Every structure is written in C-alpha cells, then in structure tokens.
Amino acid sequence: MILHTLNASPSSAAFQDCLSLLHAKDALVLLGDGVYAAVAGTHAYEALQGSPARVHVLLSDALLAGVNPNVQGIVPIDMEGLVSLTENFPRQQAWY
C-alpha cells in the first residue's frame, strides 16, 4: 500500500513514473500542477482511469487551477481528507 502524491503536470516525467507504479490498494492524490491530470477527456485522465489505484484530487488546488474536481472516477478531498489519507497509509511516495 503506497500513498502517491503527484505535484507535477501530466506532461512531466514525474507523471509517467508515477503512472507505472500505481497498483491496486494504492491511492493517488493529485495536487499542485498534478490537478491537470483530472481534466476529463485528456490522455492523462484516461490513463488514470485505466489504473487500479484510487484517485483523488485536492479540492482547493483544482478550484484554483480552474479544473472541475467533480469528474467520474476521481474523488475530491480537502486538506483534512489528505491528512487522514497520510495517516492511513504507512508509506508515501511524492512525485514532483
């Protein structure tokens, strides 16, 4: 079980590295420039839909970027939700 955080745009190497290491029981939180991977219909979004991991987007960052946080397959969370995720996952991998 790994909690991944992605703080880099979908065109980054970080996104590709992260994508290849998402497994079932993992969770991914999109934050900072990572929120652009939540734009429905994009390659990045489709790629994430194809991954077995649970995907979240940080609400405040999505709203700031003008990205709709309420899209199918992605669960928006607030800062409190992010904190409780970090408590539930023993290890965290930051992609940036």
Complex with other proteins: residue 40 or 94, whichever CB lies closer: 94
Q: From the CB of 44, what's the least distance to other proteins, in Å?
A: 16
Structure tokens at 15: 């996104």
Complex with other proteins: residue 13 or 80, whichever CB lies closer: 13
Pairwise CA distance, residues 96 & 88, whole Å:
22
Complex with other proteins: residue 41 or 90, whichever CB lies closer: 90
* Residues found near other proteins in the complex (CB under 8 A): 1-2, 13-14, 16-17, 20-21, 23, 90-96
Pairwise CA distance, residues 59 & 35, whole Å:
9
The answer to whether residues 11 and 39 touch, using CB atoms and an 8 Å cutoff, is no
